[in-house]
Amino acid sequence: MSDPAVDPEEVRHVADLARVDLADDEIERFTEQFGDILDAFEALDDVPETEREADLSNVMRPDEIRESLSQEDALQNASDTEEGQFKGPKVS
């Protein structure tokens, strides 16, 4: 049997980095689960490569100047405005 892909010390290290406290039984369970996840990623190596689609092109329409709301109409329902602009709450 080969060495496991992930050992409990690595799980403890990742848990410490994430600031997550894990009990011993959780560490065992996560060690198995991380190994299963890595095995699933290794299975992707068996997926054959395919021809990729042609490079994507911009499908956005060009900008066009059209009639829109006046500044007064755009601000009429705003709860707070200042010097003709929307005013939001202070963020510290």
Helical ranges in 1-92 per DSSP H: 8-17, 24-43, 71-75
pLDDT at 36 over 50: yes
53 compared with 28, residue with greater pLDDT: 28
Nearest residue to 5 (alpha-carbon basis) of 34, 40, 25, 44: 34
Question: Other C-beta atoms within 10 Å of 74: how many?
Answer: 14
Q: For residue range 52-65, list pLDDT tens digits in order.
A: 777 878 788 888 99
Q: Parallel, antiparallel, or unpaired: how do β-strands 85-86 and 81-82 relate?
A: antiparallel
Every domain of the chain and the residues it spans: 8-44
